[in-house]
């Protein structure tokens, strides 16, 4: 296991370097002049020149890349032209929002997804199975933002149970914090709940047909113990993989959820950045989300290897 | 020898035909495939026939009829400029369907090309697959947003921005198949008969490696439609004047309180379209991948 972890960590370093290089290249890949694009039509030549200098576009790519890596390594991701604020500062202040929504959504997806999948597999071919799978395929087909709009209309506008959007930090009261995050988390998590439910069901159906399950039943173990202790445990390996993939995508999916619910998170920062052509912010945001995504996938891989010894020796 | 080979070919063709017929029959029997196909066919007919079914121009403004609820005159009501939503939804559906199909077709092409070259020519394998790994290191929606930020808003750019994140997955699937096929006896036999690499690839390897990719690509249509509407909803897709389902929904946000129908119908259209594609995809997967039949 130790050598596997070291191997994976070593493979992680070049990925980090190349990914950040691509993010760095963004301003260079813009067709035409990135500075002119950011400033729009009314800008004077001096303003453009000044921004070109600030972005480092007047220097060679190599020189610029070295500076970028040096600064990024020290946590300096440049300055936002529109927010009048260092990009790192903007990201740090918005990260708790994104992490909160993602964690709640993941919690919801795992708990509800696995339970629904297990129930469906136990009641295979019956009404409940059919119902769960129908809801799951709907969950995979509804766009997050439309689901969110429906939830806002029903639970906020009509019933008034939840706020239509916005964020309250946990320090201003735990209850209000939860109330504001409840709908965004469910909207974000539903598609992955469906994915996990489908995966759990199909793996469980496979495991339930195996001999050891029959043996467990034959020796008189109760249904509960057979399902949870024997079958689910053996079905968990592929479920862990799908959870790992989901966790990373949930983080990226917050881009849309945060926009619908007006949450001041990293995702909305990126979207606003793209609209305003605020490249340093877009670069910083994409970099931080992608790094977290890679880190989550790495952890999922390590967990997977821990749960399944065959992987480690490949 | 020649007749024996010809006979072998006809028999394998017959075998293949029989298999295809049984697969089609199975697909016809699959309830989810039937429902999916019906929904998709309806959506495509309505959208392609938009000029016939819509009745009005999707951009025609009627200042005396803004934010009207659904009626016999405006089936889906009107928006804040008095534009007919039924017409805008149908025209928006065209863009969604166009993007979904284009992205799936283009990633099939790029995936087959990259996957085949990587799988067949071992010297290029490492370079190509590491490049694919790098693209997969980014979350797909974020990579698409990054590409849109670089290229700017337009329909063709949306397609490019979605082809890039979905290509690596397709390439991986094809490569795995090619690696497996390459070692099979019939490939060795064809090679020893003097078949060129190009012929071997186009006649034997690619056709035999397509099944797992095709299963995947139906779901890519669904994912691309969802991503396209998402990008447009965020306001970084096509220019706002073009009617797309995502654009209409973005505008509808402001009027959710007073005119909820503006958000209801475009969202329903996307959801049903994607549901249809997903159901069809499940059906196709059940037919082509018998292990999943249950």
Mean pLDDT of chain A: 85
- Do A62 and A152 fall within a single domain? no
Checking if the pLDDT of A10 tops 80, the result is yes
- Do A110 and A66 fall within a single domain? no
ipTM score assigned to the predicted complex: 0.85
Is A86 within the bounds of a domain?
A: no
Helices (H) and strands (E) in chain A, counts: 14, 2
Percent of chain A with pLDDT over 90: 20
Is A87 within the bounds of a domain?
A: no
Checking if the pLDDT of A314 tops 60, the result is no
Distance, in Å, from the CA atom of B191 to the CA atom of B182, rounded to the nearest integer, reads 10
Q: Tell whether A5 lies on the interface with B, counting CB pairs under 8 A.
A: no
- Do A170 and A270 fall within a single domain? yes
Which of residues A290 and A60 earns the better pLDDT score? A290
List of E strands, chain A: 79-80, 85-86
Give the pLDDT confidence of B265-279 residue by residue, as tens digits: 899 999 999 999 999
Q: Which of A152, A114, A173 is CA-nearest to residue A257? A: A152
- Do A121 and A20 fall within a single domain? no
N- to C-terminal Cα distance for chain A?
12
For residue A193, the distance in angstroms to the closest alpha carbon of chain B comes to: 16
Checking if the pLDDT of A219 tops 70, the result is yes
Is A121 within the bounds of a domain?
A: yes
Checking if the pLDDT of A235 tops 80, the result is yes
Joined tokens for residue A166: 């916005």
Which domain-ending residue is among A43, A73, A103? A73
Checking if the pLDDT of B1 tops 50, the result is no
Given a contact cutoff of 8 angstroms between Cβ atoms, the answer to whether B237 and B154 are in contact is: no
Mean pLDDT of A184-205: 91
Mean pLDDT of B32-56: 86
Checking if the pLDDT of B107 tops 80, the result is yes
State which residue of chain B sits closest to A283, comparing Cα positions.
Answer: B146
Is A314 within the bounds of a domain?
A: no
Which domain-ending residue is among A45, A73, A101? A73
Distance, in Å, from the CA atom of B234 to the CA atom of B245, rounded to the nearest integer, reads 12
Percent of chain B with pLDDT over 90: 28
* Residue showing tokens 């949870």: A228
CA distances from B219 to A64, B131, B169, B284, B293 (A): 41, 23, 12, 10, 18
**Cβ pair B142:A255 closer than 8 A:** yes
- Do A108 and A53 fall within a single domain? no
Is A78 within the bounds of a domain?
A: no
- Superfamily of domain covering B26-65+73-293: MetI-like (1.10.3720.10)
pLDDT score, position A188: 93
Distance, in Å, from the CA atom of B273 to the CA atom of A142, rounded to the nearest integer, reads 10
Checking if the pLDDT of B2 tops 90, the result is no
pLDDT score, position B224: 94
- Do A158 and A27 fall within a single domain? no
Q: DSSP letter string over A58-84?
A: TS-HHHHHHHHHHHHHTT---EETTTT
- Do A145 and A20 fall within a single domain? no
Which of residues A222 and B158 earns the better pLDDT score? B158
In chain B, what is the greatest distance between 2 CA atoms, to the nearest angstrom?
Answer: 81
Is A295 within the bounds of a domain?
A: yes
Low-confidence winner among B23-27, B32-36, B105-109, B284-288 (lowest mean pLDDT): B23-27
Mean pLDDT of A152-167: 87
For residue B5, the distance in angstroms to the closest alpha carbon of chain A comes to: 41
Partners of residue B148 in chain A, C-beta under 8 Å: 274
Q: In CATH, what number is assigned to the domain containing residue A105?
A: 1.10.3720.10
Joined tokens for residue B222: 């669904």
Q: What is the CA radius of gyration of chain B?
A: 23
Q: What is the pLDDT confidence band of residue B68, given thresholds at 50, 70 and 90?
A: confident
Q: DSSP letter for A221, please.
A: -
Distance, in Å, from the CA atom of B47 to the CA atom of B92, rounded to the nearest integer, reads 8
Q: Tell whether A248 lies on the interface with B, counting CB pairs under 8 A.
A: yes
- Do A34 and A183 fall within a single domain? no
pLDDT score, position B226: 93
Q: Among A157-171, B82-96, B149-163, name the most confident range.
A: B149-163
How much is the pTM?
0.87
Give the pLDDT confidence of A77-112 residue by residue, as tens digits: 888 878 888 888 889 999 999 999 999 999 999 999
Q: What is the pLDDT confidence band of residue B13, given thresholds at 50, 70 and 90?
A: low
**Cβ pair B149:A277 closer than 8 A:** yes
Q: Tell whether B290 lies on the interface with A, counting CB pairs under 8 A.
A: no
Distance, in Å, from the CA atom of B243 to the CA atom of B50, rounded to the nearest integer, reads 12
Distance, in Å, from the CA atom of B28 to the CA atom of B41, rounded to the nearest integer, reads 15
- Do A205 and A56 fall within a single domain? no
- Write the residue in A15, A255, A294 that is nearest to B141 by C-beta: A255
Which of residues A206 and B71 earns the better pLDDT score? A206
**Cβ pair A145:B257 closer than 8 A:** no
Domain ranges within chain B, ordered by starting residue: 26-65+73-293
Specify the number of domains making up chain A: 2
Give the pLDDT confidence of B113-133 residue by residue, as tens digits: 999 999 888 889 889 998 998
Q: Determine the structural domain holding residue A37 and report its residue range.
A: 2-73
Q: Tell whether A274 lies on the interface with B, counting CB pairs under 8 A.
A: yes
Name the helix (H) or strand (E) containing B282: helix B261-288
Q: What is the pLDDT confidence band of residue B286, given thresholds at 50, 70 and 90?
A: confident
CB atoms within 10 A of CB B290: 9
Mutation for A interface: B140, B145, B244, B276, most A CBs within 10 A = B145
Is A289 within the bounds of a domain?
A: yes
Mean pLDDT of B134-158: 89
State which residue of chain A sits closest to B231, comparing Cα positions.
Answer: A256
Q: What is the pLDDT confidence band of residue B17, given thresholds at 50, 70 and 90?
A: low
Mean pLDDT of A157-179: 86
**Cβ pair B149:A26 closer than 8 A:** yes
**What burial class does residue A127 get, using C-beta atoms within 10 Å of its C-beta: 0-12 exposed, 13-18 middle, 19+ buried?**
exposed
pLDDT score, position B294: 44
Give the pLDDT confidence of A138-147 residue by residue, as tens digits: 888 999 999 9
Indicate the angle between helix axes A174-208 and A144-151, nearest 10 degrees: 130
- Do A59 and A118 fall within a single domain? no
Q: What is the pLDDT confidence band of residue B203, given thresholds at 50, 70 and 90?
A: confident
Q: Among A109-113, A177-181, B63-67, name the most confident range.
A: A109-113
Checking if the pLDDT of A124 tops 60, the result is yes
Checking if the pLDDT of A162 tops 90, the result is no
Given a contact cutoff of 8 angstroms between Cβ atoms, the answer to whether A265 and A97 are in contact is: yes
Residue B287: alpha-carbon gap to chain centroid: 19
- Do A175 and A237 fall within a single domain? yes
Mean pLDDT of B87-103: 91
Q: Is B227 left (phi over 0), alpha (psi -120 to 50) or beta?
A: alpha
Which domain-ending residue is among A39, A73, A107? A73
- Do A14 and A123 fall within a single domain? no
Give the pLDDT confidence of B154-191 residue by residue, as tens digits: 899 999 999 999 999 999 999 998 988 888 888 888 88
Given a contact cutoff of 8 angstroms between Cβ atoms, the answer to whether A19 and A294 are in contact is: yes
Is A22 within the bounds of a domain?
A: yes
Q: DSSP letter string over B39-105?
A: HHHHHHHHHHTHHHHS-S-TT---TTSTTPPP-SSSTT-B-TT--BHHHHHHHHHHHHHHHHHHHHH
**Cβ pair B267:A149 closer than 8 A:** yes
């Amino acid at each position: 296991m130790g050598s596997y972890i070291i191997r994976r960590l070593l493979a992680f370093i070049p990925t980090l370097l190349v990914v950040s290089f691509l993010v760095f290249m963004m301003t260079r890949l813009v067709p035409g002049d990135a500075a002119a694009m950011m400033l729009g039509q009314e800008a004077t030549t001096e303003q453009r020149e000044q921004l070109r200098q600030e972005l480092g576009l007047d220097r060679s790519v190599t020189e610029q890349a070295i500076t970028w890596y040096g600064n990024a390594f020290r946590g300096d991701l440049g300055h936002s032209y529109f927010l009048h604020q260092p990009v790192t500062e903007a990201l740090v202040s918005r990260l708790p929002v994104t992490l909160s929504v993602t964690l709640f959504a993941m919690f919801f997806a795992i708990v509800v997804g696995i339970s629904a999948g297990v129930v469906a597999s136990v009641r295979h071919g019956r009404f409940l199975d059919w119902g769960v799978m129908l809801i799951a395929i709907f969950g995979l087909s509804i766009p997050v933002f439309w689901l969110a709009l429906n939830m806002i209309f029903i639970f906020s506008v009509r019933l008034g149970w939840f706020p239509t959007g916005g964020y309250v930090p946990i320090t201003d009261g735990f209850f209000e914090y939860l109330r504001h995050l409840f709908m965004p988390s469910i909207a974000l998590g539903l598609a992955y709940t469906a994915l996990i439910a489908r995966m759990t069901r199909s793996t469980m159906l496979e495991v339930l047909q195996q001999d050891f399950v029959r043996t467990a039943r034959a020796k008189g173990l109760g249904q509960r113990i057979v399902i949870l202790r024997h079958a689910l445990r053996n079905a968990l390996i592929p479920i862990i993989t799908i959870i790992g993939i989901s966790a990373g995508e949930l983080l990226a999916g917050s881009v849309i959820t945060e926009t619908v619910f007006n949450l001041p998170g990293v995702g909305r920062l990126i979207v606003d950045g793209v609209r305003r052509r605020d490249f340093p912010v877009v670069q910083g945001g994409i970099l931080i989300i992608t790094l977290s995504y890679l880190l989550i996938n790495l952890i999922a891989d390590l967990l997977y290897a821990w749960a399944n010894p065959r992987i480690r020796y490949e | 020898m020649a007749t024996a080979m010809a006979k072998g070919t006809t028999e394998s063709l017959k075998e293949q035909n029989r298999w295809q017929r049984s697969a089609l029959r199975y697909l016809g029997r699959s309830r989810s495939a039937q429902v999916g196909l019906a929904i998709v066919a309806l959506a495509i007919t309505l959208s392609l026939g938009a000029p016939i079914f819509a009745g009005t121009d999707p951009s025609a403004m009627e200042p005396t009829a803004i934010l009207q609820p659904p009626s016999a005159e405006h089936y889906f009501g009107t928006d804040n400029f008095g534009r007919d939503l039924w017409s805008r939804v149908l025209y928006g559906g065209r863009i969604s369907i166009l993007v979904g199909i284009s992205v799936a077709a283009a990633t099939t092409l790029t995936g087959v090309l990259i996957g085949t070259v990587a799988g067949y020519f071992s010297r290029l394998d490492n370079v190509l697959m590491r490049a694919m790994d790098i693209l997969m290191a980014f979350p797909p929606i974020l990579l698409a947003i990054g590409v849109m930020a670089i290229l700017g808003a337009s329909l063709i750019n949306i397609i490019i921005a979605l082809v890039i994140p979905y290509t690596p997955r397709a390439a991986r699937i094809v490569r795995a198949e090619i690696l497996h096929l390459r070692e099979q006896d019939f490939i060795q036999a064809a090679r020893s008969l003097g078949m060129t690499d190009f012929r071997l690839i186009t006649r034997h390897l690619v056709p035999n490696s397509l099944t797992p990719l095709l299963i995947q690509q139906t779901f890519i249509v669904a994912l691309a439609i969802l991503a396209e509407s998402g990008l447009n909803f965020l306001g970084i897709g096509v220019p706002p004047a073009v009617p797309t389902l995502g654009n209409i929904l973005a505008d509808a946000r402001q009027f959710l309180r007073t005119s909820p129908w503006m958000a209801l119908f475009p969202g329903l259209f996307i959801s049903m379209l994607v549901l249809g594609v997903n159901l069809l995809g499940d059906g196709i997967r059940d037919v082509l991948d018998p292990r999943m039949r249950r």
